[in-house]
Amino acid sequence: MIEHVQNPILEIHDLTVSYSKRPVLWNIDLTIPKGVLAGIIGPNGAGKSTLIKTAMGLIPKASGYIKLFDQDLEQVRKKVSYVPQRESVDWDFPASALDVVLMGRYGHVGIFKSLREADKEVALECLRKVGMESFADRQIAQLSGGQQQRVFLARALAQDADLYFMDEPFAGVDASTEKTIIALLKEMTAKGKTIIVVHHDLNSADEYFDWILLLNTRLVASGPTQKVFTKELLQKTYGGKLNILSSVGDLLHNEQFPNRE
């Protein structure tokens, strides 16, 4: 069940991504419409993080292409924002919450210039949106997991983008923080932003998202929640890897065989 849309904000065509020649994403083909709050759901190791990292140009593609706003990433960087996983960073760095959020303004300011008062105000406003304005000067190492996640979110907001990729924004986050965040995300999509989230928890998926991608190395389904979030499709996603596909993957890895001729 893969629904395709006209004028997608994100188009992925025949995408394969490999680690050491072993494909972790096989022939992904999908489109996502503008203005949705989309969730990428799948078991561990399904390639969910890999998908959005590839969309952000952080991982090379073995085949296929990805178009955002019907263009290449390079041309539309200013419109795209990325929230990495919280553990991807060492929080012991000497910086305050405000310092981190200000990083979201670097794209607007440019490389040789310094930040202005206006940037600082935007940053503080974003901290306010995630309920962290009183922590602006706090050292990030002193923040709890949920607070750190909110700082990352505020940083993404500071970019003032139209398309957001978020990697497990609710991992290790307490229930009330999660409520705050999801409310904020829904507010953003109501204003026309598109948000694509890698989500780890099946139970809340149908409540949070209006578009769902079911992923397990290959795309099982992509479409509006009611159509996709069905028992059989979920079973297909979580029912273990396709055995033959896995074996072929192993073979490609052992022989270091190229993915495309």
Partner 1 sequence: MTDLIRFLLLEDPNVRTVVIGTILLNLSASVVGSFAFLQKKSLSGDAVAHSILPGICIAFIIFQTKSLWVLLPGAFVTGWLSLYLVDYISHHSKLKQDTAIAVVLSVFFAIGIILLTYIQHTGSGAQSGLDSFLFGKAAALLEQDLITYGIISILVISVTVFFFKEFMLISFDTAYAASIGVPVRNLQLVLTTLTVIAIVTGIQSVGVVLMSAMLITPAVAARYWTNNLKRLLLLAVLFNSLAAIIGAYISYRYPSMPTGPWIVLVISLFAFASILFAPKKGVVYSMYRVFKHKSLILKENILKALYQLGEQENRFKDTHSLNNLLAKRRLPLWQVYPALYRLMFEGYLEHTKEGWALTPEGIERGKRIVRLHRLWEMYLSKNLLLASDHVHDDAETIEHILTPELEARLEKSLNFPTEDPHASKIPR
**Footprint of partner 1 on this chain (CB under 8 A)?**
53, 56-58, 74, 77-78, 80-82, 84, 88-90, 93-96, 99-100, 103-104, 106-107, 111-112, 114-115, 139, 141, 155, 159
- Report, in Å, the least distance between residue 166 CB and partner 1: 12
Secondary structure (H, E, C), the chain: CECCCCCCCEEEEEEEEEECCEEEEEEEEEEECCCCEEEEECCCCCCHHHHHHHHCCCCCCCEEEEEECCECHHHHHHHEEEECCHHHCCCCCCCEHHHHHHHHHHHHHCCCCCCCHHHHHHHHHHHHHCCCHHHCCCEHHHCCHHHHHHHHHHHHHHCCCCEEEEECCCCCCCHHHHHHHHHHHHHHHHCCCEEEEECCCHHHHHHHCCEEEEEECEEEEEEEHHHHCCHHHHHHHHCCCCHHHHHHHHHHHHHCCCCCC
| 88 versus 203: smaller Cβ distance to partner 1 | 88
| 78 versus 128: smaller Cβ distance to partner 1 | 78
| 114 versus 256: smaller Cβ distance to partner 1 | 114
- Report, in Å, the least distance between residue 204 CB and partner 1: 26
Name the phi and psi angles at 133, rounded to 5: -65, -25
Token duo for residue 61: 């593609």
Distance separating alpha carbons of residues 256 and 214, to the nearest angstrom: 28
| 155 versus 200: smaller Cβ distance to partner 1 | 155
- Report, in Å, the least distance between residue 184 CB and partner 1: 19
| 74 versus 117: smaller Cβ distance to partner 1 | 74
First to last CA, the chain: 29
- Report, in Å, the least distance between residue 32 CB and partner 1: 18
- Report, in Å, the least distance between residue 77 CB and partner 1: 4
| 158 versus 219: smaller Cβ distance to partner 1 | 158
- Report, in Å, the least distance between residue 151 CB and partner 1: 11
- Report, in Å, the least distance between residue 104 CB and partner 1: 8
| 63 versus 139: smaller Cβ distance to partner 1 | 139
